[in-house]
Amino acid sequence: MSLSKPQSDTVSGARQFLATLALLLPFVAALAGEPSVERTDNGTDMLQDSTFDEDSRSSETAAVAEELVEAVPAHEHLVPLAEAVTTAEGLAEPLLLLNTEIMPGTAHRLSWSATELFEGVPVSTPVLVVNGSTPGPTLCLTAAVHGDELNGIEMVRRVLHEIAPGKLSGAVIGVPIVNVQGFRRGSRYLPDRRDLNRYFPGNPNGSAAARIANALFNDVIAHCDALVDLHTGSFERANLPQIRADLRNPDVVTLTQGFGSMVVLHSTPTIGTLRYAATQAGIPAVTVEAGGPLQLELAEVKRGVKGIETLLSTLGMTKKRRTWGHPEPVYYRSSWVRADNGGILLADVSLGSTVRKGDLLGTITDPMNNQRTDVYSPYAGRIIGLARNQVVMPGFAAFHVGIETDEILTSQEQPEPAPNPKPATGGYVDGMSE
């Protein structure tokens, strides 16, 4: 299959940037905002990730100091994703995956193991594969890269078991539990507290996280023509079902449009995420966020499954035509509203609520002196992410507001943070949960 040209020129740029950032890291905080510092779009994300780490009470090691290998695609893509089925010629071919030959018109359950436990026992996780009877692209679904994000696991199971191999054009590969070690412990992280989704495409000689990332990338992801990575909100936060996508990439736009009625949030992927590394390797990728961690939320699962099945139909991989309402708005900007005070946070809005500037979002009450603070929205928009009711510290990101703007701000045009930003409302916190 050939879909679109890999963006290898940007890979070396990204590596160079990583190396530079590693050297500069101790000075970055002091220099932030200085006009002399060249900030790429991904640099912006990286700086904001430090906000994320503090906010998420994480002790994870920053991935920037580690050298990641280049994301090299296994095959070249020359045809746009939208035309992958219509331009496919000849007969469907066997799919070689994890040393197994999957014949056209068949479904298989394979096993993938990236690493060993301390006692030397391999940790294996299932890989579900359906190879269609007619040729087409290979769509991959990954879930639980963060081990406590459960909704995507059930989405992958439902989608893969619903597909009839005889009626599929192309192939679908599903990895329901990527971070099996985190999943077993009910944790977002790997056992060493590293966030696996900051280490792609990994390094075979690097840390445990970099090795697992590298194994997944070479063993599975390199076989994909497009990727949907399934996530939920993090740390007691839930997300309105939404697609996060870099809308400057035409094949990524094709993916987002295929989902039908789901909110789209334009976001440049953070370096080290699976979405970033796959797109760098010429494999268009989006993240689907739905619900919160540590729970199985049926409404969110059904929403995700419907979106993915609509995508399969829109790409022409399945015949069943799914029509699904009007497209939801695209948000080119979003911002987190943070708590100014500590105390008990109670929301007055729910996921999907439309808010005007100045609307009450929730209250924070000090349990000791009974003093209540109201939290108002500084923006007009829609609540696309929300902290569950809980006790919060000042600075906690509580309400994620999607803001409708007319067009994409490209990386060059993205506004620098205000010289004196109000810490309470923050700016972009891209990749807060991805």
Q: Is 382 in the site for Zn ion (CB under 5 A)?
A: no
CA-based angle 413:79:267, to the nearest 5?
30
Distances (CA, A) of 45 to 158, 250, 303, 326, 434: 33, 21, 28, 31, 12
Show Cβ contacts of residue 30 under 8 Å, excluding neighbours closer than 6 positions. none
Distances (CA, A) of 260 to 117, 141, 428: 41, 17, 26
Near Zn ion by CB under 5 A, which window of 111-119, 144-152, 207-215, 380-388?
144-152
Show Cβ contacts of residue 332 under 8 Å, excluding neighbours closer than 6 positions. 247, 266, 403, 404, 405, 406, 407, 408, 409
How many residues are recorded in the chain? 434
Nearer to Zn ion, 39 or 244 (CB): 244
Nearer to Zn ion, 77 or 146 (CB): 146
| Shortest Cβ 89–Zn ion spacing (Å) | 38
Nearer to Zn ion, 239 or 254 (CB): 239
Nearer to Zn ion, 189 or 396 (CB): 189
| Shortest Cβ 220–Zn ion spacing (Å) | 18
CA-based angle 222:186:242, to the nearest 5?
60
Near Zn ion by CB under 5 A, which window of 58-66, 139-147, 202-210, 250-258?
139-147
| Shortest Cβ 434–Zn ion spacing (Å) | 6
| Shortest Cβ 195–Zn ion spacing (Å) | 9
By CB under 5 A, the residues from 267 to 296 that bind Zn ion are none
Binding residues for Zn ion, total number by CB under 5 A = 3
Nearer to Zn ion, 287 or 353 (CB): 287
Nearer to Zn ion, 149 or 297 (CB): 149
Task: Tell me the residue number closest to Zn ion, measured at CB.
Answer: 231
Relative to beta strand 100-102, strand 333-338 is unpaired
Identified binder of Zn ion from the candidate list 39, 81, 132, 146, rule CB under 5 A: 146
| Shortest Cβ 234–Zn ion spacing (Å) | 6
Nearer to Zn ion, 197 or 256 (CB): 197
Near Zn ion by CB under 5 A, which window of 18-26, 131-139, 141-149, 257-265?
141-149
By CB under 5 A, the residues from 197 to 256 that bind Zn ion are 231
Q: At what angle do helices 41-55 and 8-31 cross, to 10 degrees?
A: 50
Relative to beta strand 372-376, strand 333-338 is unpaired
Near Zn ion by CB under 5 A, which window of 45-53, 138-146, 353-361, 413-421?
138-146
β-strand partners of 171: 131, 138
Nearer to Zn ion, 45 or 377 (CB): 45
| Shortest Cβ 197–Zn ion spacing (Å) | 6
| Shortest Cβ 402–Zn ion spacing (Å) | 18
- Per-position x/- string for 93-132, each x denoting binding to Zn ion as judged by CB under 5 A, each - no binding: ----------------------------------------
Answer for the pair 234, 146: CB distance below 8 angstroms, yes or no: yes
Nearer to Zn ion, 3 or 46 (CB): 46
| Shortest Cβ 231–Zn ion spacing (Å) | 3
Nearer to Zn ion, 232 or 256 (CB): 232
| Shortest Cβ 433–Zn ion spacing (Å) | 5
Near Zn ion by CB under 5 A, which window of 110-118, 147-155, 171-179, 407-415?
147-155
| Shortest Cβ 56–Zn ion spacing (Å) | 11
Q: Which residues bind Zn ion (CB under 5 A)?
A: 146, 149, 231
